[in-house]
Amino acid sequence: MAKNKPSTLVMKFGGTSVGTPNAMTQTVANIRASQASWERIVVVTSALSGVTNLLVESTERAIQGDEVFISQAETELMGKHWQLAEKLISSPAQQAQIKQEIKHLVAEFGSLCRAISILGEATPRALDAVVSLGERLSVRILAGALQSAGSPAQFIETTHLIVTDDCFQGAHPDLKRTEQNIQKIIEPLLAQGEIPVLTGFLGATEAGITTTLGRGGSDYSAAIIGATLPADEVWIWTDVTGVMTADPRIVSQARTIPEVSYREMAELSYFGAKVLHPKAVRPVVEAGIPVRVCNTFAPAEEGTRVLRDDRAAQKPKNGTQSIVKAVTAIQRQRLITVEGRGMLGVPGVAARTFGAVAATGTSVPLITQASSEQSISFSVPSDSAEAVLASLHAAFTDELAKRDIDRLWASDDVAIVTAVGNGLQETPGVAGQIFSALGAAKLNVYAIAQGSSAVAISLIVAAKDAEKAVQTLHHFITS
């Protein structure tokens, strides 16, 4: 980085970092503390904790015509946001102004939900109009709170900033367009020494229709902003200290991982570690910008740094770090198997299998194929298994009739347990050690997927064995 370029930090706050007066006070303090070491700060915020869920539930109730629920939700939204504004915004005029804006946004919520209730249905576009309200509410209060604390801040709805396609509920950003908007809108604010406070989660189509980036999308927003500014670092503030070696509810010795590579992080998010949204990793990876995951309520702790693969691949300084860095589990999966002697050497069976799965809108976290080509197994979320089986039966009616495919079936509930660590696959003997340990613990492994990623080994175990498998593999980290 050139010396004369001012240092720029993007700080993103999750719902629990802004959800209560105490949390938001802490967040304001954390932002102000960062001003000492960073010349320019851009803030991205989620909705207050619980608000997006309430908005989603309201749309569902509205479709059923439940107007009582809508009224209750209005009261709850008003109460939560007004209380925060009253506690955090000291100037009476500004507080009154923001409370007025909250009232208008909540009225917008009520109108939208009542329209949905009359229609008895909601398009994805209508859903985005409702669920994006959470961030439109929170951003005003956080910017106001910063001003009350003495930091010049300006809230911005990212409908003016993040340009997306029209895949409502899971829109894709146009980074070029977004970058132009950032130059136009954010740079001048930064130049004036202001802290722009941006809504996470939402954007708009070229025509200006509000979209959202998918649930948990505020991290993605922060990454998009970080990559396009570009920022020097992106810090994701949450309510746990970084990325942990395992879910501490399952493994009591779980601890924070100081550094993970982007690839490890992507695997961890993909395989169930809820700290960072997988998509969020991508734009910053490509821009080579480091990400740090920190705890709003323990800001002095280092948290976890997500580094570029080449930097993270360097040997740990103390030499004691294990090759396995983290163990995760995804529960409530079922293993689907397509099996038949007639599949041997027949091209296109896999393509048709996954075509049939895709037709149900189900994504597949894990695939294995026996080398004999006589069976393909893959996991899907348990709730989708019946629909996937039906779709497969329809796709392979002829093959089933001719017995080219003998069997098409779903297992009982299973879990995918994944060990993540750079070099897991290059290090001889690791897989063997993992299987010995599982064997010694009397845990049966139904399927394995190793080839897909150089930094992870995934195993399918019975649902009831998942916790024990995670604990067993965690020994590789602590011993």
- Residue 60 CA to residue 219 CA, distance in Å, equals 25
- The nearer residue to ligand ASP, 216 or 340, going by C-beta atoms, is 216
CA distance 69 to 59: 10
For 191-325, where are the E strands, in sequence order?
Answer: 195-199, 202-204, 210-212, 233-238, 259-261, 291-295, 304-307
DSSP-based three-state secondary structure for 416: strand
Tell me if residue 221 falls in helix, strand or coil: helix
- 52 contacts which partner out of ligand ASP, Mg ion, none, CB within 5 to 8 A by kind? ligand ASP
Told to check if 369 binds Mg ion by CB under 5 A, we report: no
State the binding partner of 247 from Mg ion, ligand ASP, none, CB within 5 to 8 A by kind.
none
- In the list Mg ion, ligand ASP, none, the entry touching 200 (Cβ below 5 to 8 angstroms by class) is ligand ASP
Q: Give the nearest distance from C-beta 132 to ligand ASP in angstroms.
A: 9
Do 323 and 421 contact (CB within 8 A), yes or no?
yes
Pull the structure tokens for residue 362. 């189900």
Instruction: For Mg ion, give the closer residue by CB, 18 or 438.
Output: 18
Under the rule (CB under 6 A), what is the footprint of ligand ASP? 14-15, 46-47, 52, 134, 200-201, 215-219
Smallest separation, CB 277 to ligand ASP (Å): 7
- Minimum distance between the CB of residue 309 and Mg ion, rounded to whole angstroms? 26
Q: Does 200 bind Mg ion (CB under 5 A)?
A: no
Smallest distance, ligand ASP to C-beta of residue 213, A: 8
Which of 17, 333 has the CB closer to Mg ion? 17
The Cα angle at residue 60 between residues 384 and 157, in degrees rounded to 5: 105
Taking the complex as a whole, how short is the minimal distance between the CB of residue 351 and ligand ASP, in angstroms?
A: 33
Nearer Cβ to Mg ion (116/142): 142
DSSP-based three-state secondary structure for 444: coil
Strand order in the sheet with 233-238: 153-156, 195-199, 40-45, 8-13, 233-238, 291-295, 304-307, 259-261
For Mg ion, the binding residue among 10, 11, 14, 449 (CB under 5 A) is 14
25 secondary structure, DSSP code = H
Q: Which does 290 bind (CB under 5 to 8 A by kind): Mg ion, ligand ASP, none?
A: none
**Smallest separation, CB 14 to ligand ASP (Å):** 6
Residue 15 touches Mg ion, criterion: CB under 5 A: yes
DSSP string, 366-413: EEEE-TTSSEEEEEEEGGGHHHHHHHHHHHTHHHHHTTSS-EEEEEEE
Per CB under 5 A, residues contacting Mg ion are 14-15, 46
